Amino acid sequence: MPKPRPLPAQLGAIFSVREAAQAGVARSRLRRGDLERPFRGIRAVPALLSATAAEIEDESDAEDPPRAAEPDPFTLQAETRRDLVRRYAPRLEGSQFISHESAAAMWHAPLPLTRTDAGAPASSSDLTVHVSTFGRGHLIRAEGVSAHRARHRTSRYTHVERIPVADPATTWASLGHLPLVDLVALGDYFCRVWRAGYGRPRAGTPPLSTVARLQAAIDAGRRTGIRRLREAVELIREDSWSPRESAVRCHLVFAGLPEPVLNQDVYDEHGRFVACADLAYPERKVAIEYQGVLHANSYAADVERLARLRAAGWVVIEVTATLLADPRMLVERVSAALRARP
């Protein structure tokens, strides 16, 4: 079989059948095996799509802290959600925008892991693209799409990667079906204030949203999970650096313990910087550190940082994923440390 004819460059990595026809591409060319059909009416050029997605992901991760050598399930699923959005985007009409979990993924927000009925992390064949439609426009009925009705009074969108995406406040307020801790973690992410401090190159970066905007999104009209949203917005803080920190804080507060200070810079008696503690009770010199899976270099730096804290007289409680999954034990360890330092 002869090699497929090159496609017009203006079509790019993903395009609709309509766009291809307008560019003079024959329908027979759109049936060739070098093109993917991610959704009805959409064609994708796999090689171009992979290169474009990788470039975008690299740009968004450029200033992030070091991650694990192998992507974790949360990262992989988030990238899958973004890939699905990019593949569907050419089908969006003027009254439609990406929303709910799909919008959260486009903002790189920390979503909980979606699992299949068998308990495995959901893959591209299990996930859907969430699309909201304003007014009385027709709702999408297509495989792989979750359709929603939106009102101008309660929903706003902006553009991410030139795709219409619900703004952070609208996105957060659409996720009231999620557990409370996850809502708080999402709110913390959207409202993070990048304050100045030792070794913080992104200080001054404006937050994606504010607590006031999230509150306004709740107040704008009816929402799924409105009671949970109202409870969550009161728990959002502006200096949480990760969803795991948010979860640790929530479990401690829910258990009745004092709320810890977030990302506390610690200095010695001579005013020299010692370390930044993830969560802390400064008056009792108790620090709580979440230990994720990182590169060897990051692990070594963490070991040295915790050693400096302990040498400065701090008690350090290290929280792993296993301990975080057992909030009762987490609370017991922190309670014991606080009792030992009245």
Domains of the chain listed by start with CATH number: 1-62 (no CATH), 243-342 (3.40.960.10)
- Cβ neighbours of residue 114 under 8 Å, at least 6 residues apart? 77, 101, 121, 122, 126, 127
Beta bridge partners of 133: 96, 149
Cα–chain-centroid distance for residue 62? Answer: 16
Mean pLDDT of the chain: 90
Taking the C-alpha atoms of residue 342 and residue 337, their distance in angstroms, rounded to an integer, is 9
The pLDDT value given to residue 3:
82
- Extract the residue ranges of the chain whose pLDDT is less than 50: 62-63
Please tell me the predicted confidence (pLDDT) of residue 148. Answer: 96
Q: What is the pLDDT of residue 65?
A: 52
The predicted-structure confidence for 164-207, as pLDDT tens digits, reads as follows 999 999 999 999 999 999 999 999 999 999 988 777 878 889 99
What's residue 209's pLDDT? 98
Q: What pTM value is reported for the model?
A: 0.85
Helix axes 73-88, 46-61, angle to 10 degrees: 130
User: What confidence score (pLDDT) does residue 62 get?
Assistant: 45
pLDDT tens digits for range 6-35: 888 888 888 888 888 888 888 888 888 888
* Distance of alpha carbon 28 from alpha carbon 144, whole angstroms: 25
The confidence score (pLDDT) of residue 64 equals 52
pLDDT digits (tens, 9 = 90+) for 77-86: 999 999 999 9
Degrees to nearest 5, angle at CA 315 with 313 and 319: 150
